[in-house]
Amino acid sequence: MKSIYLRNFVATATLVSVCFLIVACSFMAIARSYVITEYRSKMDDGAVEVARTASAIAQNDSLNSWVLSMSISSIGRATGNHVFITDTQGTVVCCADQAPRCEHLGETVSEDVLQQVLAGGYDELSDLDGMYKAQRYVSAVPIVAVGDGSVLGFAFVSSQVDNMLGGWTTFLSIALIISAGLFGAALLASLVFTKHMARPLDEMAAASRKFARGDFSVRVRQTEDPEDEMGALIDSFNKMADSLELAEKRRSEFIANISHELRTPMTTIAGFADGILDGTIPPEDEKKYLRSIRDETRRLSRLVRDMLGVSQTRARAADPSRRTVFDLTELILQTLLSFESRATQKNLDVDPQLPDNHIMVRADKDAITQVIYNLLDNAVKFASPGSCLILRLYKDDGKAYVSVKDFGESIPKEDLPFIFDRFHKSDRSRSLDKDGVGLGLYLVKEIINSHDEDIAVRSEGGMTEFVFTLTLAK
């Protein structure tokens, strides 16, 4: 049985069967005990009634009178029990069986039984020392005279075990039929429910096989409550599929971008070199094209250097041993000085909104310097000439917040979700290095994430703001 559906069904069916068996056995035992107890209680009541009747008749007649015999015969037929009366010595003097067919008249009940009756009544499973051929339930009480309360004799009521359990057997048969029907319905419901529960797992397995073949478009239908475990699993699976599909798309874009970035300078270099070698380019223009070859070679070198630099910086930023406590306010001021000349050239009004007191954080100082530098470089590059550049630092709820805001062309909404992606480069998306390969903001994101912090961007109405967090030092 490899199917989880079958395993779940077998487990559920086994559990239902065991529970049903336990409940059924307990119910039968309790029901049998209840029937016997109720029947014996009625037998005790019958014995008391026989003793009362005998006591009343004995006022004017004897215990072996015909009237008393007829009375106990009627009681015996009505209850289905056998009734007889003994004298004080235990000899049977009156029986519910009609004479001369009665075989019990003259027989004697043992002294031990009579003593038990006198001591508090008799209610046992017994054959009365061979009076009966098989064990019977027997109930007995003394017959007390109405006047002086003396013991006149003893009243015995007995019943066969089969008589007592006859009603219980009939009830048990009906109960078993109903229980079997309920058990079958429970198994059928378990079969349907287990199949329903296994359906999302079957769909996930089928989707996983398609993922293995490179098809990331398939999704599992969400028919469950998203708040329960299966619904949450389906939702997580679909989100994973979205991530895989997006990752595959990004991988394809990455390959296309890097191929383009490598192919363009190499094609230019090869074309200009061939032109110089085969004489297509005149000797007087060779220097100009050699300079182009040099520029393209340097651009290719920058691409390789930037890619290596991103990996190295990300690895260093993720190293906890490099993190120290430093003054974030001072670091921002030092980094801001590096952009004084560029801001002056664009006639930018730089507004550093920094607190008077020091804000101490624990992080990799060099990596955070790179983050601030990249964000300021991005802001200066894309700010409109004569506009304002705002650098703000504040703290809240154990976090330091750094905000870099500039005013210029907004980032289109469709580009915002991808602004931190590697090699995502567009004139409209304000990539850090518009003339480069689109690694600046990607590096910023990686450094901040390696510190378990957050960075966000918003751009609207000509205003663009980047905000990242750092944990305050304790």
> Averaged in consecutive runs of 10 residues, what is the pLDDT profile of the chain (474 residues)?
63 77 78 77 85 85 83 83 88 78 80 87 84 86 84 88 67 76 78 74 79 79 70 81 78 67 75 85 84 80 68 69 90 89 90 91 90 90 92 92 92 84 53 53 86 91 93 88
CATH number for the domain whose boundaries are 4-166? 3.30.450.20
Q: What is the pLDDT of residue 4?
A: 63
Q: What is the pLDDT of residue 128?
A: 85
Q: What is the pLDDT of residue 100?
A: 58
Top-tier CATH class for 229-317:
mainly alpha
Pairwise CA distance, residues 124 & 157, whole Å:
11
Pairwise CA distance, residues 295 & 357, whole Å:
47
Q: Which part of the chain has CATH 3.30.450.20?
A: 4-166
Q: What is the pLDDT of residue 422?
A: 66
Long-range contacts of 297-304 (CB under 8 A, 24+ apart): 297/265, 297/269, 299/265, 300/262, 300/265, 300/266, 300/269, 302/436, 302/437, 303/261, 303/262, 303/265, 303/436, 303/437
Q: What is the pLDDT of residue 435?
A: 47
Q: Which part of the chain has CATH 1.10.287.130?
A: 229-317
Cα 376 to the center of its chain, rounded Å:
47
Pairwise CA distance, residues 122 & 309, whole Å:
103
Q: Which part of the chain has CATH 3.30.565.10?
A: 321-471
- Give the burial class of 115: count Cβ atoms within 10 A of its Cβ; 0-12 exposed, 13-18 middle, 19 or more buried: exposed
Yes or no: say if 155 and 54 are a contact pair by the CB < 8 Å rule: yes
What values do phi and psi take at 339, rounded to 5?
-105, 10
Q: What is the pLDDT of residue 463?
A: 92
288: left (phi over 0), alpha (psi -120 to 50) or beta: alpha
Pairwise CA distance, residues 453 & 434, whole Å:
26
What's the predicted TM-score (pTM) here?
A: 0.44
Name the fold adopted by 321-471.
Answer: Heat Shock Protein 90 (3.30.565)
